[in-house]
Amino acid sequence: MVLTGICMCGAVAWTYSGDLTRKLVCHCADCQRATSSPLTAFLGMKPEQLSWTGEIVHYESSPGTFRGFCPTCGTRLYFRSDRWPTEVHVHAATMSNPGEYRPDAQVFMPSKAGWLDRLPSIPAHDGFQQEPMVHPPAATV
């Protein structure tokens, strides 16, 4: 299997050849904070089969744990930790074809954002809402 990916501005790209070690959705509080999102989706890869082009900056979010991102556009690229030296977790949303992603596990369920369960029951639009809601319904405050 060959997969490719890119950051938002295109300065950083990755190519992976080989079998994936994980396809997981993470609900942990660190990922929520680091990605400014309620959840993040990862592809587990073997470091020796993953190649990068472009400059990457990383943040050491805890001792021996690194979160890489593009210094130009800020796109989150990977998570890696000295605790799991045989794996790099690449953010699945950076895939060239992110629609092909098929997670097979989700982890850290106790910190899952509670409102995710409400998504199927709230209004959904194909694009951005045309007008902001001026008077929120009192019941949702």
For residue 112 the two structure tokens come to 């899952």
Q: Which of 4, 9, 55, 62 binds Zn ion (CB under 5 A)?
A: 9
**What is the DSSP secondary-structure string of 22-78?**
EEEEE--HHHHHHHTSS-EEEEEE-GGGEEEES--EEEEEETTEEEEE-TTT--EEE
SS3 138: helix
If one asks whether residue 45 binds Zn ion (CB under 5 A), the answer comes out as no
d(CA 33, CA 28) in angstroms, rounded, equals: 9
Nearer to Zn ion, 20 or 28 (CB): 28
Contact flag: residue 92 with Zn ion (CB under 5 A): no
| Position 7 contacts Zn ion (CB under 5 A) | yes
Rounded-to-integer distance, Cα 50 and Cα 69, Å:
16
Sites for Zn ion among residues 98-117 (CB under 5 A)? none
Q: In angstroms, what is the minimal distance from the CB of 63 to Zn ion?
A: 16
| 11 is a site residue for Zn ion (CB under 5 A) | yes
73 binds Zn ion (CB under 5 A): yes
User: Which are the contacts of 95, defined by CB distance < 8 A and separation ≥ 6?
Assistant: 3, 4, 5, 43, 101
Residue 29 binds to Zn ion (criterion: CB under 5 A)? no
For Zn ion, the closer of residues 39 and 140 by Cβ is 39
Answer yes or no whether residue 13 interacts with Zn ion by CB under 5 A: no
Among the listed ranges 58-66, 70-78, 92-100, 115-123, the one in contact with Zn ion (CB under 5 A) is: 70-78
Q: Given the rule CB under 5 A, which residues bind Zn ion?
A: 7, 9, 11, 26, 28, 31, 70, 72-73
